[in-house]
Amino acid sequence: MSDIDIRTTGRAGRITLTRPKALNALTYEMCMAIDTALRNWREDDAVDLIILDAEGDKAFCAGGDIAELYETGTKGDFGFGQTFWRDEYRLNALVFEYPKPVVSFLQGFTMGGGVGVGCHGNHRIVGESSKISMPECSIGLVPDVGGTLMLALAPGRLGEFLGMTGHRMGPADAILAGFADHFIPLAHWSDLIEMLEASGNADLLQDHAETPPEGKLPGMQSDIDQAFGGETLGDILINLRDSDRDFASNTLDALQRNAPLSMACTVEMLHRLRGPALTMRRALEMEYRFTYRAMEHGDFLEGIRAQIIDKDRNPNWQFADLSVPAAAVSKMLQRLGADALTFEEE
């Protein structure tokens, strides 16, 4: 497949995304190719670890390829999208639960679906150019691909802030929020990959990790915790409107561009997930409740139209006044019954 290069080199299973002109956006076929490779290598004693990387300087992976999702959804065919998300989420769980080390090299943009592939392994490497974000609320989705797990675990209320605003994290902030593990300058990556291939030993990464340039989130943490500590989107908006700080006005501007229903559901999902019962599978199952309904009952198709198809940046959101009824949130997140997301061992 020209969009992805899957091979074995030395002791490593190698997966390289090769769509740099499309910012390595994931197609359904790419997801399935990764899934197949990981399952084959899981029992292969010749493979000690997995290395994920991508061609080009601009992006590891800027998300899922949503052209086909839009094309099918606008024709009233919601099945393709439901299948895409179901199988993608199963892949996300496979990466998270993988019994061998998974090393990912995350240059440039890592967003949405890229997070689901690149940020669930146990050795996530960022460099000077890395920018990691979950911008789904801007297209009428919610943070998904297991992103809600990391958002729910992030310090304080960073999860709500990152999930609702789509804020782009540099290397230090990605490590702070739990989306990355080590900062290693980009110039060292090629040699490191050769060492990993030869040795099959992921522990050597720690020896090459450096202190990243200072991030932005620590200086914003108190403002974020104060503003995003509310129980609902409405509470958060009140907190922001009552503040005279620049942070509040800038954040309000960001939120007003996004889908209100998506933001309200994001807050509710993180609140439901936090606690001792939090697992990757529970996070993915909750996300699938929303995405399963996103085309028919959410704002996904309108978000894609406004941001990517017509590019008018003027979406006609539901609840455009930012007042989202609790019943609308409950409808998007209610259990799916026979259509619920399941996993291979179940």
What is the rounded distance in angstroms from the CA atom of residue 176 to the CA atom of residue 75?
Answer: 42
Half-sphere exposure of 97 (CA within 13 A, CB side): 16
| DSSP state string for 194-254 | HHHHHH--TTHHHHH-BPPPP-SHHHHHHHHHHHTTSSSHHHHHHHHHT--SHHHHHHHHH
> How crowded is residue 16: how many other Cβ atoms within 10 Å of its Cβ?
15
Residues tagged active-site: 64, 113, 136, 144
CB-based contact 169:131 (threshold 8 Å): yes
Beta pairing class for 4-9 and 12-17: antiparallel
User: What tokens appear for 81 in the block?
Assistant: 């999208």
CB-based contact 112:85 (threshold 8 Å): no
User: What tokens appear for 193 in the block?
Assistant: 């990959």
CB-based contact 125:101 (threshold 8 Å): no
Helix, coil or strand: residue 177:
helix
Identify the bridge partners of residue 126 per DSSP, sorted by sequence position: 106, 183
